[in-house]
């Protein structure tokens, strides 16, 4: 399954990554690694996560206050 990001989501993700990079490069790497894990999970199992709105699901990123929809 192909995964795409809206322009808003891309900006939000870049902003969060910059924030974590300002804290520590290791934390930024961990954040992006967790994002990659969630994206892979969603692409392999699109039914994962809680339903939100019409035909959308929300998946919480482990260890970070971030969700993907």
pTM of the shown model: 0.88
User: Can you give the pLDDT at residue 53?
Assistant: 85
Give me the tens of pLDDT residue by residue for the chain, a chain 69 residues long. Answer: 677 889 999 999 999 999 999 999 999 999 999 999 999 999 999 899 999 988 889 999 999 999 999
Burial environment of residue 34 by CB neighbours within 10 A (0 to 12, 13 to 18, 19 or more): middle
Helices (H), 1-69: 7-23, 25-44
Q: What is the pLDDT of residue 22?
A: 98
């Amino acid at each position: 399954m192909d995964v795409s990001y809206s322009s808003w989501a891309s900006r939000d993700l870049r902003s969060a990554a910059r924030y974590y990079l300002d804290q520590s490069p290791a934390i930024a790497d961990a954040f992006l690694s967790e994002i990659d894990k969630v994206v892979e999970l969603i692409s392999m199992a699109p039914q994962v996560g809680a339903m939100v709105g019409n035909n959308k699901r929300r998946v919480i990123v482990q260890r970070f206050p971030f969700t993907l929809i």
